Amino acid sequence: MNKYCSRMIVALCAALLLAPFLAPYDERQQHRSAAMQPPSLAHSGATADKPIFLFGTDEYGRDLFSRFLYGGRRALLAGLLAAAAAVLIGFVAGAFSGFHGGWPDAVLMRCSELFLSLPWMYLLLAIRALLPLRIGQSGSLLMVVSVAALAGWPRPSRIIRGIFLSARDRPYISVARSLGAKNLYIIGRHIFPEVRDILWTQMATLLPQFMLVGVTLSFLGLGEDEQHASWGGMLGALRHFSVMESHSGYLLTAAAITLVLFLLTICG
């Protein structure tokens, strides 16, 4: 089961990352004569060479399937960068804390408890409120990655710390020290192989959570501008009952977004 689930996740992530090559239209391309079309394989208002709107179109005639791929690409990139940054910070902090012990261990663990107690979504919204209304793609990405990494590093750091605490006093570590091995060599040669799989697991666990950060911001209208596709913006259209009732394309898009995030969560 895990094998097939992992393959499905790899295929979905590859499809999102390759959005510019797989999307039938550009995310901003408009077909005004085919606005608010339901899902179908052909519409008379579409261009002759590409007459397919798989998820239908929005009020500007933009293809929802293309915008789903582009929006998912941005959400996935933000989630991957944030998860990688959180795991990297957690590894450095946990390794230093567990390997050296003493007062560095006490200080870092108290800091991790402080960050664990912070409601990071409110922190993100507070930081976003201090910034200009439109901060662009790079600014939005940097904000999500920074706050998510600061909020996410304590859990992996505490796991890594436990492994380093148990490993630093093992006989073969003491023998390596007596033979003149440096700390970096001991960590890289003897301890890091034990934590490598845990780091990947933590990244897989944090990825869907951090993807939801960007989705939530754009859903609240605090992410990128509306011209660029975002999953939160597409879900935000369903706040209007008339759209939910009359346009099945948005419901299909919401179902696809939910399925991707669900698969990432259960397979993580």
Q: What is the pTM of this model?
A: 0.84
* Least confident among 7-11, 45-49, 221-225, 237-241: 45-49
The string of DSSP letters for 219-241 reads: HTT-SS-TTS--HHHHHHGGGSH
Do residues 30 and 61 make contact, with C-beta atoms less than 8 angstroms apart? yes
Sign of the dihedral defined by the CA atoms of residues 49, 54, 56, 60, in that order = negative
Ranges of beta strands (E only) in 25-181 are none
In this predicted model, what pLDDT tens digit does every residue of 124-138 receive, in sequence order? 777 777 776 666 667
Question: What pLDDT is recorded for position 40?
Answer: 73
**CA distance to 45, 54, 80, 114, 227, per residue, from 69 (Å):** 22, 12, 16, 37, 14
Structurally, what CATH architecture does the domain formed by 2-267 represent? Answer: Orthogonal Bundle (1.10)
Query: Which residues have CB under 8 Å from 259's CB, separation 6+?
Result: none
Q: 268 by DSSP, 3-state: which?
A: coil
Domain ranges for the chain: 2-267
